[in-house]
Every structure is written in C-alpha cells, then in structure tokens.
C-alpha cells in the first residue's frame, strides 16, 4: 500500500480512523529524509494494515509546528488515536520494523491507564465528561512476523 500525504485538513481524521498510523515528517532539502523514504515506502508495502502517512514540513508548516517537530526526519506512531512512539532521525529497515512490531504488540489498556494518569481530565480519565473512543482489544491487526518485539525467527 502506498504512503499517504497528510495535511492539516486530514491529519486528525487519519489518526482517528486507523488503528495504527505511522507519520514521517520530512523535507526535500533533508538528505536523511530522502534516504529514509524508500525504507518507509517498503514498510508501507509490507504492512498494508498500517496507515503510513507523510507530512512535507515545508508545505505543512502549521502541522509540523503543532506536532513540535524540531528534527528531520521525525517518525510518530499512533495506536488507537494515541501517540505511542516518537523517533527523531534516520532509521534502518530493521529499526523501523522493530518499531512497527513494538506498536502492534503494545498493551493498550496499560497505555490508556498511563495516559489518563498523566493527563487528568482528558478522554479516558476517571471522571472525564468526554466519551472514550472505540477500543480495539488485543493485538493490532496485520500479519504477525514473530512472537515478541525484537525476537526474530530465522
């Protein structure tokens, strides 16, 4: 599946609708970004169940500022609408695959509890007036390549 260009207009909707979203913030002038692009594209082909989004920081300056992007490339990972992964700088294919597996195998109940504890009054926080988003229990969808993040079958 090809990568999807994300803008200020479609970013929130993309994060809310897809169980897992990876977002690569990049710029044409960034050499490491151009080296990472084919690795990221290959990941999108290997994991069609994950939305692989891209944000051109030159064209989407307000979105990059809102995401507090200070270094390129920057990869953000969202699961069930929550930011669960941030990595500044270039990643190899193996590092990106480890990130994908880590995000897929996260205990989202624990993540939500931690998020609620750190953000009182937010969605999912005890006593919150806001309804909780729909939950997807268990392992995120997609092919399982190995049992635990970092454990590779030869």
Active site residue: 21, 23, 30, 100, which one? 30
Active site residue: 20, 21, 33, 103, which one? 33
For the four alpha carbons of 63, 64, 67 and 73, in that order, the dihedral sign comes to positive
Measured over all CA atoms, what is the biggest interatomic distance in the chain, rounded to whole angstroms?
Answer: 49
Residue 105 appears among annotated catalytic residues: no
Q: Residue 30: count other Cβ atoms within 10 Å of its Cβ.
A: 18
The CA distance from 103 to 75, in Å, is: 13
Residue 33 appears among annotated catalytic residues: yes
Catalytic residues: 30, 33
């Amino acid at each position: 599946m090809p990568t999807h260009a994300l803008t200020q207009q479609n970013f929130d909707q993309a994060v809310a609708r897809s169980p897992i979203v990876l977002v690569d913030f990049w710029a044409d002038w960034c050499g490491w970004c151009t080296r990472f692009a084919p690795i990221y594209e290959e990941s999108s082909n290997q994991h069609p169940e994950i939305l692989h989004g891209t944000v051109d920081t030159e064209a989407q300056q307000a979105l990059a500022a809102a995401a507090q992007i200070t270094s390129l490339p920057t990869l953000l990972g969202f699961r069930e609408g929550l930011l669960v992964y941030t990595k500044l700088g270039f990643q190899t294919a193996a590092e990106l695959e480890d990130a994908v597996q880590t995000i897929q195998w996260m205990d989202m109940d624990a993540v939500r509890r931690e998020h609620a504890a750190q953000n009182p009054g937010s969605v999912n926080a005890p006593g919150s007036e806001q309804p909780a988003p729909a939950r997807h229990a268990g392992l995120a969808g997609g092919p399982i390549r190995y049992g635990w993040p970092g454990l590779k079958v030869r």
